[in-house]
Amino acid sequence: MNDMGLIVRTLARATIPLIGIFGAYIVSHGHLTPGGGFQGGATIAGAGILFLIAFGLEEAKKRINKNLYSALEGIGGLVFLGAAMLGLSVAFFYNLLWHKGPILNGHPGSLLSAGYLPIMNLAVGLKVFTGLVSALMAIALYRRWQK
């Protein structure tokens, strides 16, 4: 009994892309609507949990690469730090992209506005998603009670 029944698996095939796209919407619209990096990342990690629950641990072990997720979590943190250090000639966390940037300085309320905030939301979303999925895979792989 390593995965759930046919109905749950078929429903998971339909629901996982829906949750992933909605989480990506929350992350990318973090400066316009409620939500942001953490909330969207946790929502996408919910899709990962649904995959792990519906298809079982063996299938998830084949699909989830530990080194890739660990590296992506580090890259998320580095992108956040890099966006914070863009305007280091003025101050730390100075929003240089908003004040005189080539892109991301659109009219407030549009998607390409708010300077480095979308980049930071994407970085935090990537970090939260990969971190939560890695933590849940580690917990699922623990299995000390069977020895």
* Contacts to another protein by CB under 8 A: 1-2, 4, 8, 15, 18-19, 22, 26, 33-35, 39, 43, 46, 49-50, 52-54, 56-57, 140-141, 143
In this structure, what token pair is assigned to residue 90?
């003025």
Nearer to another protein among residue 45 and residue 120 (C-beta): 45
Nearer to another protein among residue 52 and residue 124 (C-beta): 52
H helix and E strand count, the chain: 5, 0
In this structure, what token pair is assigned to residue 89?
């000639």
Nearer to another protein among residue 17 and residue 74 (C-beta): 17
CB of 50 to another protein, least distance (A): 5
Residue among 52, 46, 29 at smallest CA distance from 137: 52
Q: How many CB atoms lie within 10 A of CB 141?
A: 11
CB of 46 to another protein, least distance (A): 5
In this structure, what token pair is assigned to residue 104?
């991301």
Q: 77-96 burial by CB neighbour count: b if 16+ within 10 A, else e?
A: eebbeebbebbeeeeeebbb
CB of 6 to another protein, least distance (A): 14
Nearer to another protein among residue 30 and residue 87 (C-beta): 30
CB of 53 to another protein, least distance (A): 5
